[in-house]
Amino acid sequence: MVEQDRPDPAFDANTSRLLRREALRRAAEELNTTSPQGLEDVLARISAEVTADADARATGHDGSTISSAGTLRSKE
């Protein structure tokens, strides 16, 4: 029979630490608004959220309706 590898706690701890570090690095990079690309990404995400919210309101998916005057009336 083939002998299975035994778990190596030091390797597992080091791997977990490196994975956490990489996840934090990527999250920080995504939130970085000091670089032109980071700022562009944040603004694009905000724009997409605002557009989706406006579309949901216009189509009534959030329970509200748009009156003929263009004002938003919430459903109660």
pLDDT band at 15 (very low <50, low <70, confident <90, very high): very high
For residues 54 and 39, give the distance between their C-alpha atoms in angstroms, rounded to a whole number: 22
How large is the average pLDDT for residues 11-33? 88
pLDDT band at 21 (very low <50, low <70, confident <90, very high): very high
Q: What is the Cα gyration radius of the chain?
A: 24
